[in-house]
Amino acid sequence: MDQNWCMESEGVETLVKGFGDRMKKTVYYKPRSDDIIDNLFACVYPINHTSDVVSNTRQVITSRVIRKEINGIFETENSIYVPIQLQEQRVG
């Protein structure tokens, strides 16, 4: 995939368009340095996760990371995670 695909996009929906399962929820997160490990997990602070078993007020460990992009978007077995900074840049 072209590494500039993020910059050519117009909205978070377009940013995650290239990812697998479209039924997965998009979760915004605050990154914790570079704690996304391909094929293992990520440690992030989710902001809008809809699961009752996930806290939106403290750090969580995700399910297995399937795919990671240079812009911070990554896909797990259950969700697609987007850094909140990308959403803020698009709104601002």
The DSSP symbol for 37 reads -
Average per-residue pLDDT for the chain: 76
Are 44 and 61 in contact by the 8 Å Cβ rule? The answer is no
pLDDT classification of 45: cutoffs 50, 70, 90: very high
pLDDT of residue 47: 93
- Among 4-13, 29-38, 44-53, whose mean pLDDT is lowest? 4-13
Give the sign of the dihedral formed by CA 7, CA 10, CA 15, CA 20.
Answer: negative
Higher pLDDT, 84 or 1: 84
Higher pLDDT, 78 or 38: 78
pLDDT at 25 over 60: yes
